[in-house]
Amino acid sequence: MQANPNIKNRLFPVFLKLEELNVLLVGGGNVGLEKLSAMLNNSPDSTVTVVADMFRDDIREYVKDYPKVTLVERRFDFIDLNDKDLVILATDNPDLHASIKRVTVERHILCNVADTPDLCDFYLGSIVQKGDLKIGISTNGKSPTMAKRMREFLDDIIPENIQQLLDNLREIRMSIKGDFQEKIRVLNEVTESMVNGRKGS
3-state secondary structure of 195: helix
Residues of the chain with CATH 3.30.160: 125-158
Rounded CA separation 116/51 (Å): 19
Residue 40: left (phi > 0), alpha (psi -120 to 50), or beta?
A: alpha
pLDDT in tens, 57-111: 999 999 999 999 999 999 999 999 999 999 999 999 999 999 999 999 999 999 9
> For the chain, what is the mean pLDDT?
89
Domain 125-158 has CATH 3.30.160: yes
Query: 18-124 — its CATH code?
Result: 3.40.50.720
Residues of the chain with CATH 3.40.50.720: 18-124
Q: CB of 183 within 8 A of CB of 190?
A: no
